[in-house]
Amino acid sequence: MTTLRKTTPILRSFDEAKAREFYLDFLGFQVVFEHRFEPGLPLYMGVARGDCALHLSEHHGDATPGASMRIEVDDVDALCSELMARHPRHNRAEVQAMPWGTRDFTVTDPFGNRLTFTSAISA
């Protein structure tokens, strides 16, 4: 049987400056690559933080705004504290214990995509 490997979600974006502010400045991702078919055309950009890789696309049809995803982290409380220390204007995250055994917090990007960061509750 063939083994499936990592998943790289494509998220729709509409504004390069807002995408950079949210994903790079706020969430702490780094740019892996940037692609445009020619100057002035929509941006397709790969970003990563640790093992988490995302693609952000301004191209119509690549993705639908309003996606939702869960991203596993080693310590969700530490990540939430790190992000909230940046005093974000539009996101106020709060970690919550979930009934299915995780601790989660969710932030929403400027394009309506929701990223839920999650850690398993230690037994």
The tens-digit pLDDT sequence of the chain (123 residues) is: 999 888 899 999 999 999 999 999 999 999 999 999 999 999 999 999 999 999 999 998 899 889 999 999 999 999 999 999 988 877 888 999 999 999 999 999 999 999 999 999 875
The structural domain count of the chain equals 1
E strand or H helix that includes residue 55:
strand 52-57
Alpha-carbon distance 89 to 91, whole Å?
6
Number of neighbours of residue 105 by Cβ within 10 angstroms:
22
pLDDT digits (tens, 9 = 90+) for 2-34: 998 888 999 999 999 999 999 999 999 999 999
- Domain holding 42: CATH number? 3.10.180.10
Structure token pair of residue 11: 């998220």
Asked if residue 28 is part of any domain, the answer here is yes
Number of neighbours of residue 8 by Cβ within 10 angstroms:
11
Q: Which structural domain, as residue segments, surrounds residue 32?
A: 10-120
Asked if residue 105 is part of any domain, the answer here is yes
pTM for this model (two decimals)? 0.92
Asked if residue 2 is part of any domain, the answer here is no
